[in-house]
Amino acid sequence: MGSVKTVTDEANFQSELANAGTKLVVVDFTATWCGPCQRMAPVFQQYATKYPKAVFLKVDVDQCQETAASQGVSAMPTFIFYKNKAKIDRLQGADPTGLEAKIQQFYGSEDGEDSEGVAGHMDLSPFITKAQCECLNESDEHPLAHALTSSGGYLESDCDDQLIISIAFNQSVKIHSLKIKAPSDKGPKNIKIFINQPRTLDFDLADNYTCVQALQLTPEDLEGNPVNLRYVKYQNVQNIQFFIEDNQHGGDVTQVDQLTIIGSPINTTNMGDFKRVTGTKGESH
């Protein structure tokens, strides 16, 4: 990579998104008459060189009016970020620092192929609405937020070994697998999974409700290797909850260093507002 590709029309735009696969795509919606756009052009080229494993596209809104309209672009410059053909974020205005910050946020540690090692799927972190996530029985010093990033820290249980983790998405997704990093002794062992619940389950409900799937993890599963789910059960997920019943050695403290959910978004258009679809009560299984 390392260069900026100019999009010629809507078909070309869709083709570039499809060809990018799970790589980050950064699109500059620009216009020749826009002064701030022209000032950002060399910056955009610089970032294309600096982040060669991402795809950088330039769309002239006058030449590609259909594309600009379909992507909800009404002011220039607008930068929209995509993965798996789905919008994951956007930035409006000539802000070099803000643009690079978002590139770094989604660029990750891609290796040129599928960064998660699961063909056709991606880390769904960009689609998680963290403000609507919660964890029951988390330690004040080691909350859920620590396990949803790779920047250090970990999630730890408080009063006993059980945890209920509730993850909300800003759009419907398909979930293929989980990647869990945790200590071989304190890491989760038995997990019950629920989807599309109207609210976070309490421990009594989680213990009695019929789950979508029950997992029994081994210490090897806690090394960050993909743990495949019953994919057919997770085709339209708006929220997912994990009831961690115990840990590997039966101690009082359960620890999760990192939890990554792998899958793909369902909706690939009109994501600009990031409006979360309200979940309905979980399925009967």
**Which residues are tagged catalytic?**
34, 37
Measure the CA–CA gap between 272 and 63, rounded to whole angstroms. Answer: 22
Residues in contact with 183: Cβ distance below 8 Å, sequence separation at least 6, in sequence order: 222, 255, 257
d(CA 180, CA 224): 5
Beta bridge partners of 167: 240
Per-residue burial over 117-146, b if 16 or more Cβ lie within 10 Å, else e, is ebeebbbbbbbbeeeebbbbbbbeebbbeb
Give the span between the Cα atoms of 143 and 24, in whole angstroms: 29
| Percentages (nearest 5) of helix, strand, coil residues in the chain | 25, 35, 45
CA–CA distance, 215 with 184 (Å, rounded to integer): 16
The interaxial angle of helices 35-50 and 96-107, nearest 10 deg, is: 30
